[in-house]
Structure 1
Amino acid sequence: MDAIALNLPTDSFSDFLDRFTTSISSLFQRENIDQLSLSRGLPPNVWKEIFNLKPLSVAIPKEFGGRGVKVKECLGLLSAASYQSLPLSLTFGINIALFLEPLAKYGNQLIKGDIFKHFLDYGAMGGLMITEPDYGSDALSMRTQNELEEGQYHIKGTKHWQGLTGLANYWLITSRNMNADGNLGRDVDFFIADTHQPDQNIEVLEYYDNAGLYMIPYGLNKIDIKVPPENKLISESTGLKLMLDMLHRSRFQFPGMGMGFLKRMMDEAMTHCKERIVGASNLFALDQVQFQLAKMQSFFTLCSAMCAKSCKVSGIDHDVSGSGVHANSMKALVTDMMHESAQMLVQLSGGKGYRLSHIGGRGIMDSRPFQIFEGSNEMLYTQISEGILKDMKKKKTENFGEYLTMNELTANAAKIYKREFDFTIASPISQRKMIDLGKAVARVITVNDLLELTNEGFSQELTDNSIEMVRQEIVMLVASLQHHKDIKALDEIGDKSDWMMFA
């Protein structure tokens, strides 16, 4: 079929992105993004204008009229959106990584066409339901169940903290199969719910008063639906592997949401510091300000490397179920950088930055949950360390620096930080040490990706600054790792804890 018969987009991605960026900027100026960001949700006319631009076409295969599910285009769209509005970018991220890409890779051919058409032509949205009130990150203990009854799957359970609660038209729902003995199976099944269908509508029991990301509704959802067999995702082996492949791919795409946001924080900070006069000069001339701006530039640089690497490794044609160390490193580090960057912008902006109508003040609240959802960063850093220590044992080495030169994710960067990592480490170690170790590993992996990008022509000056900025952070992390004391919280602080008794 030709492009006309399929109604395929014929414009280049640069033209598509330029049109999207210009249109969104104009829309948010006209509608006042500061005011929109202070209200729950977005008005229907604003959503309509946004989806008239067909932003989610980047995550729809060409055979169904989309742009082809290219990682570069998905990340480019997320970045362009997050420069203007982090919640808007997250909305796209939820749709792309947690619904459209899994549908494209694992969906039944019988249902793909109709669903993709609704996204392209009618501005439909989709989300993912995994988290349950009693289990949080312990997804494998979920109690939502499915049972095949009279040719349909009956799914029952409770989910919460789903982005786009009450707003999405389609949901990808995780559950466990109820066997003949009345017990839940160990594997995880994925089903698509089409809320247009009466038997597949999901009841919202409560909307949450989330402290940031006002544009996105979150809440508590009751599931009691029936779906046909073709709505079940087709796993290549197990549902657990499917879930890991999907979640790791999503984490590989966090840098897209981080990219535009980090650049906006950096641009705002640079402009303010050059224009703000203190005494005889501007803020830009102050040494501490220079350090903070250099750090923001380093964040921008490291995120650029993440995006470039993600384009090479995270497409739907790749199986990333076993790429936990790399994916977790990207997600945890970029979200830490996002929140710290917003904090620095507010600090540099003074009083006016500490307002929800200011991009920095709003950025603190909007970026904070990124460190929590889809795996809290403490958990991800711990998992990184677990993977590394397991591999060290396999390779029979206890010298950390030596091991890093043997791991392809860190080999080149390890040479730069050879002195900093010249120490031995043997498991088991405490979780607080695991977190510090995971933070160090995430930075080395990212610098490794940055060296690869620099070899392809990326700015050597930005790279050199980032290498030294990361070196400072590694030195502090290694010092913390080696000097942790086993300090425990007291069961009770005791009756001698009131200072007023001794004054």
Structure 2
Amino acid sequence: MHHVNNPSFVSFLETYKRKLTELFTERNNEGLMSAQRGLPPYVLRQILECNPLATFIPEEYGGRGAKTHETLSMLEVSSYQSLPLSLMMGINGALFLQPLANYGNEDVKKKIFRDFLVGKNMGGLMITEPNFGSEALKMQTGFLRSGKHYSVSGLKHWAGLTGWADYWLITARERDGLGNLGKDIGFFIHDTSNGGIEVEEVFQNLGLYMLPYGRNRVEIQVPESHRLQPKTTGITMMLDLLHRSRLQFPGMATGFLRRMLDEAVHHCKTRNVGGTSLFNYDQVKERLAQLQSWFTVSSAMSYFTSSNVPLEKDTSRSDLPANSIKSVVTDYMQSAAQHLLQLVGAKGYKLDHIAGRSVVDSRPFQIFEGSNDILYQQITESVLKMMRKMPSANLYDFLKDYTYTEKAADYFKDILNFRIDYGMAQRKMVELGQAISRMVSMNMTMDLGEKGFNQEMVSNSLAVLQKEIRMILSGYSFNNNAGIAYDPEGENNWLNYLPLRSEVRQGAG
């Protein structure tokens, strides 16, 4: 078995960081390169020669040990330099290598891990279909077993690394003799050198130019050894995969948020407006304080995941922390990009400027791997499910004793001290989920503070979070729900309400 040289983690990370700096800022114009689709082959080759994906591979297969703090640190270094690069690493790791490590056949693992370490291969995941995005469990891609093989056929789209991946993890439901699809989900590893995947369209994605996305027609034969083996059901395995991935979003987010903060501070300190540094304006400080807070929260989430989620942990039931982390940190990523663009002004509104590019690059993070609106609703549903088993329907009583909110809840006793309405409207569930997930984030931030993290940053972050949570809960308590009255064929043109003039007024003189 080939073993990749295992230098100390610090030197591994430093080498990787130096290589990214060289490739993105010294040898190339970062802005211009990021405004082109794809990536120059030599750049990708040199990045992969640093073996960043070895952080996802267990030691017994020649990897660095699949240690969570290493994977998150690698993602963080990547995203400081390039958010799409970090996503590329995250797709390979969280959506392919980690599921393979946890559920793959031993011989298959040996070969594929070697292909990644030595052959610099890449892998992705196909779940989403043209008519089934959020409703993934209704996917129409099906599989049939015939002898020692599975036939998998269907149509998938929006899989990152379309046309690039050497391996795909493809999800499908079992077809019976009548062609009906079963409820459970199967995961199949496909080596693209065997053919059977036709790229029908490469998408013109709005951002993330580095990554190819598209629509893929799948007609493949997969050996039985290449089916992932769930511990219980395929759906539980999928939840483990998705929750683990969501729990690792702070790896991508922390580096990105640090970059947004660094860029914003640098711009504000070097730009003069009205005879004084932009940095001195109070409203500017408000934006910078929020950027700093979001970076702090994301750091706390990275600490949480690294401390609590080793590779072998089954995360299929970790829905509340996973959904909270993913939704909050991706909202913060988009807000941070908007803040930077607002501070930089007109010159940032370009694809080859970090501010403009970051707005479109961070936006899909709020959509993929669980649309945030849905995740917020699910967070509330998780809490309601737990509360139904409790004697009290008082929200504060629950949150003050709940592991993920016990430290944060006391800050909001005055506004959480109410009986929960189990029949609340969906929009209220989303709002409450936004508040609860930020309390979870606040709890994590307090935990990091207790470990000795920069106390000033932590206290500033807690202040920003308190204001945000109180604003959300204020909206939650406002009960005048607006409806939809608009009719495109109806009476809705303001022009009709101007006083009609029967004659055109002549100009004076």
Is TM more than 0.5 here? yes
Q: Residue 310 of structure 2: SS of its match in structure 1?
A: coil
1:409 aligns to what SS in structure 2? coil
Q: CA deviation at 1:244?
A: 0.2
Cα deviation, 1:403-446, whole Å, max 9, x if unaligned, reads 10121111111123322322222211111111110111111111
Alignment of 1:220-369 (within 5 A): 220-369=215-364
Q: 1:53 aligns with which of 50, 54, 67?
A: 50
Which of 1 and 2 has greater Rg?
Answer: 2
Amino acid in structure 1 at the alignment position of 2:157: H
Q: Which moved more, 1:39-48 or 1:93-102?
A: 39-48
Q: What code does the residue aligned with 2:450 have? A: N
Match of 1:34 in 2: 31
Which of 437, 449, 452 is the matching residue for 2:444?
Answer: 449
**CA–CA distance in 1 between the matches of 2:5 and 2:425?**
53
User: What amino acid does structure 2 have at the position aligned with 1:228?
Assistant: P
Aligned counterpart, 2:129: 132
Change beyond 3 A, Cα 1:413–1:197: same
Q: 2:189 aligns with which of 188, 192, 195?
A: 192
The Cα offsets for residues 83-123 of structure 1, whole Å up to 9 and x where unpaired, read as: 01000000000000000000011000021111111111121
Contact 2:4 2:117 in 1 (8 A): no
Q: 1:64 aligned to 2:61?
A: yes
Match of 2:199 in 1: 204
Aligned twin of 1:501: 496
3-state SS of paired residue (2:200): strand
Q: 2:502 corresponds to which residue? A: none
2:507: which partner in 1?
A: none
1:73 aligns with 2:82: no
Summarize deviations over 1:330-374 as a string: whole Å, max 9, x none.
Answer: 000000000000000000001111111110110000000000001
TM-score by length of 1: 0.97
SS of 2:476 mapped into structure 1: helix
Which of the numbers 397, 401, 407 marks the counterpart of 1:412? 407
How far the C-alpha of 1:34 sits from its partner, in A, is: 1.1
Q: Is the counterpart of residue 395 in structure 1 residue 403 in structure 2?
A: no
Q: Secondary structure at the match of 2:408?
A: helix
> Which of 428, 437, 457 is residue 433 of structure 1 equivalent to?
428
Task: Give 1:400 shift.
Answer: 1.2
Residue 15 (1) aligns with residue 11 (2): yes
Q: Distance in 1 between matches of 2:51 and 2:107?
A: 23
Q: Does 1:492 align with 2:468?
A: no
Matched residue, 1:97: 94
* SS of residue paired to 1:157: strand
Letter in 2 for 1:156: S
Secondary structure at 2:343's aligned position in 1? helix
Q: Which amino acid aligns with 1:358?
A: H
The answer for the alignment partner of 2:463 in structure 1 is 468
The Cα offsets for residues 298-351 of structure 1, whole Å up to 9 and x where unpaired, read as: 001100110000012222211110011110000000000000000000000011
8 Å Cα contact 1:6-1:63 kept in structure 2? no
Structure 1 segments unaligned to the other structure (5+ residues): none
SS at match of 1:419: helix
Greater Cα shift, 181-190 or 139-148: 181-190
AA matched with 1:161: W
Are 1:176 and 2:196 counterparts?
no
What are structure 2's unaligned runs of at least 5 residues?
499-509
1:94, 1:220 → 2: CA distance? 17
Report the Cα offset of residue 268 of structure 1: 0.5
Q: 2:21 aligns with which of 25, 28, 41?
A: 25
Q: Sequence identity, in percent?
A: 46
Q: Distance in 1 between matches of 2:414 and 2:351?
A: 44
For 2:104, the equivalent position in structure 1 comes to 107
Q: By how many angstroms is 1:495 displaced?
A: 4.2
**Per-residue deviation, 1:203:** 0.7
Count of residues paired in the alignment: 497
Check conservation: 1:433, 1:484, Cα contact below 8 A: no
1:217 is matched with which residue?
A: 212
Once the two structures are TM-superposed, the CA of residue 498 in structure 1 deviates from its matched residue by 1.3
Structure 1 residue ranges (4+ consecutive) displaced by more than 6 angstroms after TM superposition: none
Question: Contact 2:95–2:241 at 8 Å: present in 1 too?
Answer: yes
Q: Assess if the C-alpha contact under 8 Å between 2:394 and 2:418 holds in 1.
A: yes
Distance 2:75 2:183 in 1: 35
What's the CA shift for 1:491?
5.4
2:2–2:114 Cα contact (<8 Å) kept: no
**Displacement of 1:6:** 5.0
Which SS does the other structure have where 1:177 is aligned? strand
SS of aligned partner of 1:156 = strand
Superposition pairs for residues 156-171 of structure 1, below 5 Å?
156-171=153-168
Q: Shift of residue 38 of structure 1?
A: 1.1
> Matched residues in 1 for 2:415 and 2:300: separation?
22
Q: Distance in 2 between matches of 1:399 and 1:148?
A: 51
TM-score calculated relative to the size of structure 2: 0.96
Letter in 1 for 2:305: S
What residue is the counterpart of 1:116 in the other structure?
Answer: 113
Q: Is 2:411–2:466's contact at 8 Å kept on the other side of the alignment?
A: no
